[in-house]
Amino acid sequence: MFDTLSDRLQTALGGLSRKGRLDEETVTKAMREVRLALLEADVDFEVVKEFVAAIKERALGADVLTGLEPGQRVVKIVHEELTQLMGAGDSKLAFGRPPTVILMTGLQGSGKTTSSAKLALLLRREGKQPALVAADLQRPAAIDQLEQLGRQIQVPVYRGDNADPVAVSKAGVEWAKHNGNDVVIVDTAGRLHVDEELMDELARVRDATKPLNVLLVLDAMTGQEAVNVAKAFQERVAFDGLVMTKLDGDARGGAALSVKAVTGCPIKLVSIGEKLDQIEWFHPDRMASRILGMGDVLTLIEKAEAAAEEGEQEEMERRMRAGEFTFDDFLSSYRMIRRMGPLQGVLKMMPGIGKQLDGIDIDEKQMARVEAIVLSMTPHERRVPHAINGPRRRRIADGSGTTIDEVNKLLQARKQMAKMVKQMGKGKLPALPPELTRAPRR
């Protein structure tokens, strides 16, 4: 695994004083690490060079804030600059006199068809009435794929009987207009940016459909090639924004920075999973964190907010402040976490914990046993955990199909969690309780 930038900087600058200003030597050392980190994140070579030069200027003579290591200070500056650079420009889509046409373009395999369907679903949920046009006449069964996706998300799909994508696109837009759809998403065939003929065809599709939004769909795993691709698509179809796909993997997605820097076009959407609702509007600060390998606290907070039911959150907060943590809290926080998705994914987003998780599998089955134990307790036992004596432990173990040993472990874990909760109430990040992890399988 790559080291995160903060770890690398900590190592490189570890011996330096915590006070005063960042001097020339410190900054030069730090910039070397920043450069390597960005290259490993697949940021374009030239972009790295320019970016590092700009950062260096800002970092020189910057105050080292109290409480921050020099390395953390540099990370903060890099993060701020990255966020600013990627955040410039409008990340919203343009909507005009209906139907608004959105043209999806990109290389083969970048995820155009799936992104088209995801975008349609996102817009439908935001109150629009989208239609899809299957204009990828190149890849075998691409039209079938879009049609199946359209059925899943209940969005109409136009398929033409013409072999010319220009004619199909045009007819599709007309068809959607006739049906009263206010947004039309045109899925085109993947093409290489060096293929003159197909790039020309794409320009003709654009001219025929007059899209308000031309989107370039780009795989987050793309390497140095991203810049060539973006430049070529910009030259030929003048795209307005970027859709980054496959961000659910562990690619750092440095291509996002490269493309933004080289074309000036904002990133509009990010695709973060295989399910059709896993697409989001772009957040530059999160992308900056990702490129730097810093975890994704904001997404986590948002997920937690979405998962917590009304009132539940305030109640939790009140209890946490009071330093209380009963088995009832245990159960509700446990269920809240379950609603946020697979535990591994949730924990990965927490800074610091992501690294602890390297090579460790979270045992989801173990979690289910834990739930069974709590459910075998009486309401009184859940509220007043210290009332659970020997005979009660035996009864709980029998009731949940576990052993007394496991029940004891859980009682122990609750005590630890109560401590953690107190710390969290004071604004500290907890360490992962060892009960929830196990050694790697291999």
- # of chain residues touching other proteins (CB under 8 A): 52
Cβ atoms within 10 Å, residue 387: 12
Instruction: Give the whole-angstrom CA distance, residue 223 versus residue 133.
Output: 30
Does 188 bind other proteins (CB under 8 A)? Our answer is no
* Shorter beta-carbon distance to other proteins: residue 252 or 319: 252
Print the binding letters for residues 116-135 with other proteins: x by CB under 8 A, - otherwise: --------------------
Instruction: Give the whole-angstrom CA distance, residue 244 versus residue 229.
Output: 14
Structural contact between residues 9 and 63, judged by C-beta atoms closer than 8 angstroms:
no
Does 149 bind other proteins (CB under 8 A)? Our answer is yes
Site stretch for other proteins (CB under 8 A), options 145-153, 179-187, 299-307, 349-357 = 145-153
Does 14 bind other proteins (CB under 8 A)? Our answer is no
- Residue 184: strand pairing partners: 101, 131
Q: Please report, to the nearest 10 degrees, the dihedral formed by the alpha carbons of residues 353, 355, 359, 360 taken in order.
A: -10
* Subset of residues 39 to 98 that bind other proteins, contact rule: CB under 8 A: 39-42, 45
Does 286 bind other proteins (CB under 8 A)? Our answer is no
Site stretch for other proteins (CB under 8 A), options 123-131, 147-155, 262-270, 282-290 = 147-155
Look at the alpha carbons of 92, 277, 117, 179 in this order and tell me if their dihedral is positive or negative: negative
Does 221 bind other proteins (CB under 8 A)? Our answer is yes
Q: Please, what is the minimum distance in Å from the beta carbon of residue 249 to other proteins?
A: 4
* Shorter beta-carbon distance to other proteins: residue 110 or 213: 110
Q: Please, what is the minimum distance in Å from the beta carbon of residue 24 to other proteins?
A: 22
Does 432 bind other proteins (CB under 8 A)? Our answer is no
Structural contact between residues 212 and 99, judged by C-beta atoms closer than 8 angstroms:
no
Q: Which of 4, 26, 100, 110 binds other proteins (CB under 8 A)?
A: 110
Q: Determine the angle formed by the axes of helices 45-59 and 24-40, rounding to 10 degrees.
A: 150
* Shorter beta-carbon distance to other proteins: residue 259 or 320: 259
Site stretch for other proteins (CB under 8 A), options 54-62, 186-194, 261-269, 415-423 = 186-194
Does 192 bind other proteins (CB under 8 A)? Our answer is yes
The residue count for the chain: 442
Q: Which of 78, 82, 122, 142 binds other proteins (CB under 8 A)?
A: 142
* Shorter beta-carbon distance to other proteins: residue 55 or 157: 157
Structural contact between residues 300 and 348, judged by C-beta atoms closer than 8 angstroms:
no
Structural contact between residues 134 and 146, judged by C-beta atoms closer than 8 angstroms:
yes
List CB contacts of 321: < 8 A, sequence separation 6 or more.
425
Q: Which two three-digit tokens encode residue 68?
A: 């921050």
Give residue for tokens 């029998």.
398
Q: Please, what is the minimum distance in Å from the beta carbon of residue 36 to other proteins?
A: 6
Print the binding letters for residues 373-412 with other proteins: x by CB under 8 A, - otherwise: ----------------------------------------
Q: Which of 72, 91, 129, 145 binds other proteins (CB under 8 A)?
A: 145
Q: Which of 14, 109, 341, 401 binds other proteins (CB under 8 A)?
A: 109
Structural contact between residues 253 and 226, judged by C-beta atoms closer than 8 angstroms:
no
- Greatest alpha-carbon pair distance for the chain in Å reads 80
Q: Determine the angle formed by the axes of helices 327-339 and 312-322, rounding to 10 degrees.
A: 130
Structural contact between residues 259 and 46, judged by C-beta atoms closer than 8 angstroms:
no
Does 11 bind other proteins (CB under 8 A)? Our answer is no
List CB contacts of 319: < 8 A, sequence separation 6 or more.
325, 329, 421
Q: Which of 24, 50, 90, 144 binds other proteins (CB under 8 A)?
A: 144
Q: Which of 87, 98, 156, 223 binds other proteins (CB under 8 A)?
A: 223
Does 193 bind other proteins (CB under 8 A)? Our answer is yes
* Shorter beta-carbon distance to other proteins: residue 315 or 361: 361
Q: Sort 111 into a burial class: Cβ within 10 Å, 0-12 / 13-18 / 19+.
A: buried
Site stretch for other proteins (CB under 8 A), options 24-32, 187-195, 294-302, 383-391 = 187-195
Does 357 bind other proteins (CB under 8 A)? Our answer is no
List CB contacts of 125: < 8 A, sequence separation 6 or more.
277
Q: What are phi and psi of 243, to 5 degrees?
A: -115, 115
Q: Is 285 in a helix, a strand, or coil? A: helix
Instruction: Give the whole-angstrom CA distance, residue 124 versus residue 126.
Output: 5
Does 202 bind other proteins (CB under 8 A)? Our answer is no
Which residue ranges make up the site for other proteins (CB under 8 A)? 1-2, 36, 39-42, 45, 107-111, 139-142, 144-149, 152, 192-194, 196, 219-226, 228-229, 231, 246, 248-252, 254-255, 274, 342, 344, 361, 442
